[in-house]
Amino acid sequence: MRERKGFTLIELLVVIAIIALLMSILMPSLARVREQARTTACLANLRQWGVISMMYTNENDGKFWSGVNGSGWWWIADLEPQLQNYRLNKLWFCPTAKKPLVDEDGNASQKFTVFSAWGIYTAQQNSMLSADIAGSYGINGHVLSTENPAESGTPNSSTVDNWRSPSVSGASNVPLFLDSLRFDLWPGENNSPAQYEFAAWTADNNMARVCIDRHQGFVGCVFVDFSARKVGLKGLWTLKWHRKFNTTGPWTQAGGVQTGDWPDWIRPYPDY
């Protein structure tokens, strides 16, 4: 009788070990490829927001949105209804943050992290809106063309030094739209990064709304010249957020920040 031959237990274990080794080598590469794809899609969305902004300013005497109530809170209300509507306008969402924090009934749908989308704000709740809004990008409030304080009682919220127009010097270093935990933000040079990686922003720290680890040490940004690129988290303090923003402030190398000054979660990332 013929003797049947098959794999021995040792041979099977060797094959499994080889497969496990290959997976351990390939998985980080696949993760990097996925993240690169998400970052590319995020920047594509932001470029489209740049196009939307350019079209608006061309039709509005070269001025950015002002906010219907004069405070800059609800600049979104100046958008056309189809652009406001998060169901129709998929440009609102970074691929890493698609799920709104609050559902249509006002119930928290998840824990607030850097991978949360803001909203949903419904037109029923806010009479200034033409459609329900939600998203994961925010506008630099310092570009809005309003003369009034943007947020009462919030530091760095005065809009006296706003850009208001894309026709400014150094436009390629002036942020317009970015990955954000809210639809608007007014960063100041003294704002510190959040102490914890997944900490939510606080009302008196607008930089924490955008200094978030969505893209492995970077956020997507479209600038006032309508170009788009990713920005290192530590480099956010070197951008010209408003006309008098100090780009050599305490959280920059020029301002004397040391490696140990950064919270643990951001410390390993490149300086710029």
Instruction: List, for residues 161-210, the tens digit of each pLDDT value.
Output: 899 999 999 999 999 999 999 999 999 999 999 998 887 777 678 999 99
pLDDT band of 71, cuts 50, 70, 90? very low
Bigger pLDDT: 2 vs 34: 34
Bigger pLDDT: 55 vs 28: 55
CA distance 24 to 230: 28
Q: Strand (E) positions, the chain?
A: 118-121, 133-135, 137-140, 175-179, 184-185, 218-223, 228-232
Q: Where are the domains of the chain?
A: 10-261
Bigger pLDDT: 236 vs 20: 236
106-110, 173-177, 209-213 — which is least confidently predicted?
106-110
pLDDT band of 148, cuts 50, 70, 90? low
- What's the mean per-residue pLDDT of the chain? 86
Q: What is the pLDDT of residue 13?
A: 80
Please list the alpha-helical segments (H only) found in 182-267.
Answer: none
What is the number of other CB atoms lying within 10 angstroms of the CB of residue 15? 11
Bigger pLDDT: 102 vs 178: 178
24-33, 34-43, 126-135 — which is least confidently predicted?
24-33
Residues 6+ apart with CB under 8 A from 141: 72, 150, 157, 159, 162, 184, 185, 186, 206
pLDDT band of 74, cuts 50, 70, 90? confident
CA distance 194 to 257: 16
Whether the pTM exceeds 0.75: the reply is yes
Amino acid at 83: L
